[in-house]
Homo-oligomer: A and B are copies of this chain.
Amino acid sequence: MATVKLWTDTEAEAHPVVARVFADIRATRKTDFINNFWRALANHPDQLDRTWAQIKDVMTGPTTLGPAVQEMIYIAVSVANSCTYCVHSHTAAARAKGMTDDQHAELLAIVGLASLTNHLSTALQVPVDPQFQV
Binding site for B on A (CB under 8 A): 1-6, 33, 35-37, 40-41, 43-44, 46-47, 50-51, 54-55, 57-59, 63-65, 69-70, 72-92, 100-129, 131-134
Contacts and interface: CB of A to CB of B under 8 A. Distances in A.
Please tell me how many copies of the chain the complex holds.
Answer: 6
Given A33-B131, A82-B83, A119-B112, A3 B101 contact: no
B126 A85 contact: yes
A98 to B, nearest CB: 11
A40 to B, nearest CB: 4
- What is the interface of chain A mostly: helix, strand, loop, or mixed? helix
A44 B109 CA distance: 9
25 contacts: A2-B127, A3-B125, A3-B134, A6-B127, A36-B128, A43-B105, A51-B117, A59-B110, A64-B103, A69-B69, A70-B106, A70-B110, A72-B73, A73-B73, A73-B114, A74-B114, A76-B80, A77-B79, A77-B111, A78-B118, A81-B114, A86-B117, A108-B123, A115-B118, A115-B119
Contact of A106 (B64, B85, B118): B64
A101 to B, nearest CB: 7
Given A64-B103, A73-B107, A122-B79, A36 B134 contact: no
A110 B58 contact: yes
